[in-house]
Amino acid sequence: MNSPQRIVVDPITRIEGHLRIEAETDASGKIINAYSAGTMVRGIEIILRGRDPRDAWAFAQRICGVCTLVHGIASVRSVEDALHRAIPSYSIPQNAELIRNLMIAAQYVHDHVMHFYHLHALDWVDVVSALKADPKATSALAQSISSYSKSSPGYFADVQKKIKTFVEQGQLGIFSNGYWGHPAYKLPPEANLMAVAHYLEALAWQRDVVKLHAIFGGKNPHPNFVVGGVPSAISVQVDQPAGGGMGGGQTRGPHFRGGQDATAVNMLGLQTVQNVIKQMQEFVNQVYIPDLLAIASFYKEWGSIGDTGGNFLSFGDMPSKGMWDTSSYLVPRGVILNKDISTIHPIDLDKDDEIQEFISHAWYTYSGGDTQGLHPFKGETELNYTGPKPPYTHLEVEQKYSWLKSPRWQGKAMEVGPLARVLLMYADKGCGGHAQTKELVDYTLKTLDVPVTALFSTLGRTAARGLESKLFADAMQGWYDALIANIKAGDVRTFNDQYWDPSTWPKHMHGVGLMEAPRGGLSHWINIDDGKISNYQAVVPSTWNAGPRDAQNQPGPYESALQSNHVMHDPKQPIEILRTIHSFDPCIACAVHVTDPNGEELVQVKIK
């Protein structure tokens, strides 16, 4: 029996940003209370005040470089929504929506593969154990679960030699400081070797798939966007003689962009996009999903650990008929309460008492008092640090203890992210992804021999991330085909320049840019007065999930999940905490942005 204690993990590693977790255990080592603290100040809203709304995306996108386009998309959509609310005829060209869908889905697949192998897998995979593996047996294991070409005994023997060299030379590098040998690791050596090999494969794979962003957005990270569409001018018939165009389509004319006017979105670029889609599908189908199911089969008990309480929210995304037709979304919008997937509750974006942010335990202050919740259109960002002077031993958890606010829907804490989306698609028979989602989820539950309740867990959260990677990788082909069909028919429009000039705007506008980022529901709320941003609020996925307790002392999802059936084997090696926190794929960088009062740079770094 252990004595009750408070465990501090600071910082949580293998995430983006700085997160501190404090957990109180009872005498048996079971976590009875947990506290999540974002330890970096948040200020993007302050930076954006007074700026041109058309430029906001370029600032907002720098919120995070990991999910590298999501804040740019949400920011652009916020301005477009403001214009649509004021001028209902305002719309976005279909080609722009298709290109955005392709870019967003590519971000999902890239991000989820990187997370599984490079951030989360090491919670389940013992790297050093791979040295004990038999390469021939590893090959047999790999070939039993997948037809992936790189699965010969020689291939795995070469990988094993690399690992052995790292270990013998004391150069584990990215694999150093792991809890190797911890009894929580249950994979046999051959499964560990297979997973480490695919870890290395994923590093090479991701270099190729980011080309899609560079073609449509000019670069990666932080591809370019524009209010009104995408800046991806389509080059038709590049290097083609008149009349010999793409698929018998349009000849030289007003839309011809060959020669010096050529862009990356030409036949070569579009073929590269097609190749990237095939690469994504191959890796997800032949590597990611088989590895996910193989590893999960050894950790089925985690299907009853890490429950956040059963409330899930999705803003919906991937429209086929524009953002203002929610019925056309691949991912539906809605809320699930108390694990009841038979009922999807609608979201009213404009009701003051529906989506709110609380600061009772966050280092901010509200002009009307810190116990109230504010709708994002009326949100305030006034920093007010009242915590202990660093360095400190413990947080003052009865007071304010985090730089993250506490978002709530109708007063309830909501989990956002892959599990929320998969549950909404599984439950909503009217959404575009329902049939395939149901098939994938049911197959996963049957393969692992776990009940549907296992979805509401650390295991379910991790599985959902892989399943939606397949859903989106498969959907990308349809969007690509639709884009090619439009181009062949002579439609190359990607930008609506109507109402581009702020002089054509009403004096006051407001709008919300919504999207489902890889880590969950993301919303940017903008107020525009006289063509300038008067207020801006970004309510990000890791704020929904990682936020602290609210005025009613309701824990946030991270906190609830850690209070769900976690028994610590060794407080000095808190792998149990890492497994559940990593299952959310935290991105706390969405909480810190600093500039001086005049918007000027604070530091310049020169590399010689």
- Which residue in the list 333, 357, 587, 593 is annotated as catalytic? 587
Q: How far apart are CA 454 and CA 471, in angstroms?
A: 20
Annotated catalytic residue 16 = yes
- Which residue in the list 232, 415, 560, 590 is annotated as catalytic? 590
How many angstroms from the chain centroid is the CA of residue 478? Answer: 22
**8-state DSSP, 116:** I
What pLDDT is recorded for position 15?
Answer: 65
What pLDDT is recorded for position 576?
Answer: 96
Cβ atoms of residues 291 and 283 within 8 Å: no
Write down the pTM of the prediction. Answer: 0.92
What Rg do the C-alpha atoms of the chain give, in angstroms?
24
At a CB cut-off of 8 Å and minimum separation 6, what does 42 contact? 381, 403, 404, 405, 591, 592, 593
Annotated catalytic residue 587 = yes
What pLDDT is recorded for position 390?
Answer: 86
Tokens representing 184 are 């929580």
- Which residue in the list 519, 524, 549, 579 is annotated as catalytic? 519
CA 593, 595, 599, 603 torsion-angle sign:
negative
CATH 1.10.645.10 fits 5-120+209-591, yes or no: yes
CA distances (Å), origin 20, targets 5, 17, 39, 239, 402: 16, 10, 7, 56, 9
What is the identity of the amino acid at 499?
Y
- Which residue in the list 20, 36, 67, 461 is annotated as catalytic? 67
pLDDT along the chain (608 residues), means of 10: 78 74 94 92 86 96 80 97 98 98 97 94 92 97 97 97 82 70 96 96 93 94 94 71 43 50 86 97 98 98 98 97 96 97 96 97 96 97 92 92 96 98 90 86 98 97 98 98 95 96 97 96 98 97 95 96 95 93 82 42 40
Q: How far apart are CA 534 and CA 440, in angstroms?
A: 45
CA max distance for the chain: 83
Q: How far apart are CA 88 and CA 96, in angstroms?
A: 18
- Which residue in the list 14, 20, 71, 213 is annotated as catalytic? 71
Q: How far apart are CA 605 and CA 608, in angstroms?
A: 10
In three-state secondary structure terms, 200 is helix
Measured from the Cβ of residue 166, the count of other Cβ atoms closer than 10 Å reads 18
Q: How far apart are CA 12 and CA 17, in angstroms?
A: 9
In three-state secondary structure terms, 296 is helix
Q: How far apart are CA 19 and CA 44, in angstroms?
A: 18
Annotated catalytic residue 129 = no
What pLDDT is recorded for position 478?
Answer: 98
Annotated catalytic residue 64 = yes
Cβ atoms of residues 370 and 517 within 8 Å: no
CA distances (Å), origin 240, targets 83, 255, 513: 39, 14, 40
- Which residue in the list 20, 64, 314, 333 is annotated as catalytic? 64
Annotated catalytic residue 431 = no
In three-state secondary structure terms, 306 is coil
CA 235, 239, 240, 241 torsion-angle sign:
positive
Which strands form 532-539's sheet, in the order they lie side by side?
508-517, 520-529, 532-539
Q: How far apart are CA 417 and CA 415, in angstroms?
A: 7
In three-state secondary structure terms, 374 is strand
SS (H, E, C) 235-291: CECCCCCCCCCHHHCCCCCCCECCHHHCCCECHHHHHHHHHHHHHHHHHHHHHHHHH
What pLDDT is recorded for position 40?
Answer: 81
- Which residue in the list 542, 560, 564, 583 is annotated as catalytic? 542
- Which residue in the list 14, 16, 112, 524 is annotated as catalytic? 16
Question: 368-393 burial, b if ≥16 CB within 10 A, otherwise e?
Answer: eebeebbbbbebebeeeeebeeeeee
Closest CA relative to residue 90, chosen from 489, 495, 482, 516 = 495
Q: What angle do CA 216, 219, 222 make, to 5 degrees?
A: 100
Tokens representing 493 are 């429009």
Annotated catalytic residue 542 = yes
